[in-house]
Amino acid sequence: MALPAYATPGERIAYYALRLFVGLVLLFLISPILAIMPLSFNSESFFTYPMPGFSLKWYIGDEGFFTNGRWTGALYLSVIVAVSTTALASVLGTLAALGLARANLPGRAAIMAVLISPMIVPVIISAIGLFFFYASPWVGLNGTIPGIILAHTALATPFVVITVTATLMSFDRTLMRAGASCGAPPHTVFFKVVMPLILPGVISGGLFAFVTSFDEVIVILFIGGPEQRTLPRQMFAGIREQISPTITAAATVLILFSTALLITVELLRRRAERLRGIRN
Amino acid sequence: MAVIDAAASDTVMRAADGTPLKKKLRQAERREQLRALMLIAPLFLFIVVTFLFPIGSMLERAFYDSDVADNLPRTKALLANWDGKEVPGEDVFAAFAADMKAASKVKTVALIGKRLNYEIPAFKSKVVATGRKIDKVEQGPWKEAIIGIDPIWGEVGTWAVVKRSARSFTPFYLLGVLDLRQAADGSIERMPADRAIYVQILGRTFGISFLVTLCTLILGYPVAYLLATIPQRHASILMIFVLLPFWTSLLVRTTAWTILLQDGGVFSQVIHLTGITWLLNVLGLVDGEPQLFKTRFATVLAMTHIQLPFTLLPIYSVMKTISPTYMRAAKSLGGKPFYSFLRVYMPQTMSGVAAGCLLTFILSLGYYITPALVGGGTDSMIAGFIDTAMNSEANWGKASALGFMLLASTLVLYYVYNRLIGIDRMKLG
């Protein structure tokens, strides 16, 4: 939408005003994230510019993100929980999405509503519900790692279901019949034909599941014991009690991590489009 | 007739084993459906057992509280026939004494006190003291002894509360979060002004959510418009500015705002350097440096930042489908640019606006982390009060009732969302 040569002065003003406004909004979106990163290299423990000096001590010093026991422990726990959640959620979610993709399933809308309910219910309500459930004597999962993994899996599966369902919508089912008519048994068709085509969707869903677990802070505040300090919980406690620059280092690492994920998902999306021969 | 039937059955197509093809097809379809259900079953059961059931039983606590009924069973039975006109007789007091002695043994007097304390201020310590003293009294008459311990037991109102709270199914908590309560005669009345805070909190939660939705729409609509109308390769680059914050965790963005908004922090520096502080002072809106951290402004600012992509992306995806020829047609028919935009372009974007705004509004209702960290405790939204009721007051009935209100609002709005847009078409980045 370039400005045509015959544009009126009014149109010219609108054209540049719109660009200026959009520029400011985009600046507003990105600047908090960019502003926080340099502060993690501050040699002093305060949060203003200009910084007096450069230092890596919030990464590798006594209080550093990669060296302090509390932070490395939190990172370790978060990774364990997120990887387990991703594995469970991807398997359960993909199976369910494959089932949902079959034609004329009775009560499909109701089933879908149940499956994506964890995404709809406000997290604070899920947290309290799970707390009471885990506290009952015959469950007893409060303050345990399996409890956290199960809770995160419930919260993460809707993202897998939605992503994989979306991928399956554009999946050409005649390919399965083609495979079968060439003599392949159902499991061969699944692993050799279906899986490679829906894999980008499954991986995207898995990444969503990973992020859901890795970022989750409210549920862990309720069901986690004192020893279960995941990374978000450690950060939350840090902000509540006393803000140390290590938090900015943690934030920086997480921002870089989400940038990497963003790029991965985008590449997967392009690959999926290429595989299916869709072009813009 | 018989002749025709026989002729028809001969023309039915049959499979190799002799069953009609129609029947075969039905069988195959049923097998297919069964297989589909088998694939869904594991996740379905998982969600029902580990997610929906816990939430259901949590919500039950908003209506059901058996602390008093379980611990004062004899008193409850006798009070059922009490007419509530004057202080009950010796039999009720004797039953009460027996119940309290039993409760002292199993150390549940405090539970009774806690529940009654919700309705009679500062009553818990009196109940606990009564429990302790009655344990030492060996013999009746119980009525005199108990009223002697604390004259409050000689009031009709006290026993009305005991009778009411001994009912396990109670409207007490739900009425409470609507600033209502049951009077001694069972009618519903307003909570006294000093205890009526929850309607205001609900209103504030809706108000903040509405304001955030409005801000994201005002900021997001022009961005979506520009991104949808410039060449794709430019749009892809600018889209990074939207998607990177979208992918960054909510906690990280809240952390960023917490740090930037500190008194004398980066945000104050920026508004100082750009002259906004000076402008606000000239206009007389603030005196000196504006206080930012732990204010309503900070909450709305941070929430707008976090929710902006949620509003923007659905609008963008709708705008991408609008052909530019419509605008050209409008202009060639003599429409002035602004008028054509208003009458031709904007109506076509409304489904995206509805989707984005509803999503942001619904998500804003449940915000907990951001108001707690950026906005300061005094300006909490409903989720913050659920946390307070759970962790500080240990009032589980109230927490559940507040949760019920939040969930009900959310579900109603999602129902609207589903009607308008269809929930499984929700976009994820």
- Mean of the pLDDT values across residues A191-201? 85
Domain span(s) for CATH 1.10.3720.10 in chain B? 198-425
State residue B300's pLDDT score: 92
What is the ipTM, given to two decimal places?
Answer: 0.87
pLDDT over 50 (residue B285): yes
How distant is the Cα of B167 from the closest Cα of chain A, in angstroms?
22
Helix, coil or strand: residue A76: helix
Kindly report each contact of residues A237-245 with a partner whose C-beta sits within 8 Å and lies 24 or more positions away, as own/partner: A239/B254, A239/B255, A239/B258, A239/B373, A240/B373, A243/A47, A243/B258, A243/B259, A243/B262, A244/A45, A244/A58, A244/A63, A245/A39, A245/A40, A245/A42, A245/A45, A245/A47, A245/A58
Q: How far is B314 from chain A (nearest CA, A)?
A: 16
Is 0.90 surpassed by the pTM of this model? no
- Which of B205, B248, B262, B426 is best to mutate for the A interface (most A CBs within 10 A)? B248
Task: Give the 3-state secondary structure of residue B400.
Answer: helix
| pLDDT mean across residues, chain B | 83
Residues of B within 8 A of A232 (CB-CB) are 249, 251
* Angstroms from A29 CA to nearest CA on chain B: 6
pLDDT score at A20: 94
Mark yes or no for CB contact B55/A21 under 8 Å.
no
The residue with tokens 């409005």 is: B214
In the structure, what pLDDT confidence band is assigned to residue A279 with cuts at 50, 70 and 90? Answer: very low
Cβ neighbours of residue A271 under 8 Å, at least 6 residues apart? A200
pLDDT at A91 over 90: yes
- Residue for token pair 């870089």: A256
Q: What percent of chain B has pLDDT over 90?
A: 17
Superfamily of domain A70-242: MetI-like (1.10.3720.10)
Helix %, strand %, coil % of chain B (to 5): 70, 0, 25
Q: Is the pLDDT of residue B170 over 60?
A: yes
**B195: CB partners within 8 A, 6+ apart:** B179
**Can you give the pLDDT at residue B5?**
52
- Of the candidates B138, B132, B146, the one whose C-alpha atom is nearest the C-alpha of residue B93 is B146
Render pLDDT for B293-346 as a digit per residue (tens, 0 to 9).
Answer: 888 888 999 999 999 999 998 899 888 888 888 888 888 888 887 888 888 888
Domain spans of chain A, in order of start: 70-242
CB contact under 8 A, A132 and B223: no
Most confident of B95-99, B208-212, B389-393: B208-212
- Interval A35-57 mean pLDDT: 81
Residues of A in contact with B252 (CB under 8 A): 33, 215, 235, 251, 254-255, 258
Residue A123 and residue B42: Cβ atoms within 8 Å?
no
Chain B, nearest residue to A236 by Cα = B251
- pLDDT (0 to 100) of residue A9: 83
What residues of A are in contact with residue B220 (Cβ under 8 Å)? 25
Percent of chain B with pLDDT over 70: 95
Mean pLDDT, chain A, integer:
86
Phi, psi of B85 (to 5 degrees): -85, -40
Element (DSSP H or E) covering residue B181: strand B180-182
Q: Which CATH architecture has domain B198-425?
A: Orthogonal Bundle (1.10)
Which of the residue ranges A25-29, A90-94, B24-28 would you say has the lowest mean pLDDT?
Answer: B24-28
> Does A29 contact B42 at a Cβ distance shorter than 8 Å?
no
In this prediction, residues B269-295 reach a mean pLDDT of: 79
Chain A's closest residue to B382, CA to CA, is A124
Q: What is the pLDDT of residue A280?
A: 40
Q: Are B292 and B268 in contact (CB under 8 A)?
A: yes
Is the pLDDT score of B143 beyond 70? yes
Highest average pLDDT, of B138-152, B223-237, B287-301, B378-392, comes from: B223-237
Task: Read off the pLDDT of residues A233-270 as tens digits, 9 standing for 90 and up.
Answer: 988 888 888 778 888 889 999 899 888 888 888 888 77
Mean pLDDT of B83-96: 81
Minimal CA–CA distance to A88: which of A171, A159, A192, A144? Answer: A159
pLDDT reported for residue B212? 95
- Residue B206 and residue B218 in contact, taking contact as beta carbons nearer than 8 Å: no
CA distance B309 to chain A (A): 9
